Amino acid sequence: MEPIVDTIDGTPCGVSTLRRNVSLLVNSFSEQWQNASGEFPRFGERYSREHQLQAEADVRRKLLADMPSQIDASVNSIPHMQRLKASMRGFVVHSFAPEDREEAAEMLRQFSRTGDEFVREAGEFDPDLQPVDIFQALRNLWIMNSLQVAFALPVSLNRSGFAYSLLYPYTDNYLDDPTAPESEKKAFNRNLARRLAGHQGSVASQFAAKVSALVEMIESEYPRISYPGVYESLLAIHRAQEKSILQNASRVCCTEDEILHISVEKGGTSVLADAYIAKGCLSLEEVQFAFGYGVFLQLMDDLQDVTEDLDNGYRTISTLSARKGSLDRVANRLVAFLYKVLDSAFLCPLPRTALLTELIRKSCRGLILESIALRPELYSNDYVESVEQHSLLRFGFIRDIHQEMMSKRIRCGKAFRKGSYQV
Binned at pLDDT 50, 70 and 90, residue 412 comes out as very low
pTM (2 d.p.): 0.86
Residue 369, φ and ψ in degrees, nearest 5: -60, -40
- Alpha-carbon gap, residue 363 to 365, rounded angstroms: 5
240: how many CB neighbours lie within 10 A of its CB? 24
- Residue 383 falls inside a structural domain: yes
- Structural domain including 58 reads 4-418
Contact predicate 70/410, CB 8 Å: no
284: how many CB neighbours lie within 10 A of its CB? 18
- Residue 24 falls inside a structural domain: yes
Over range 126-138, report the average pLDDT: 83
- Residue 281 falls inside a structural domain: yes
pLDDT value at residue 53: 94
For residue 275, which of 25, 98, 3, 103 has the smallest C-alpha distance? 25
- Residue 100 falls inside a structural domain: yes
Contact predicate 273/134, CB 8 Å: no
Average pLDDT, the chain: 82
Contact predicate 129/122, CB 8 Å: yes
Over range 314-318, report the average pLDDT: 91
Mind listing the pLDDT tens digit for each residue in 142-190? 899 999 988 889 999 999 999 999 987 788 777 667 777 777 777 888 8
- Residue 184 falls inside a structural domain: yes
For residue 297, which of 401, 89, 173, 147 has the smallest C-alpha distance? 147
The alpha-carbon radius of gyration of the chain (Å, integer) is 21
- CB-based contacts of 210: which residues, under 8 Å, 6+ apart? 125, 126, 170
- Residue 423 falls inside a structural domain: no
The number of distinct structural domains making up the chain is 1
pLDDT value at residue 133: 82
Contact predicate 300/364, CB 8 Å: yes
Helix (H, G, I), strand (E, B) or coil at 30: helix
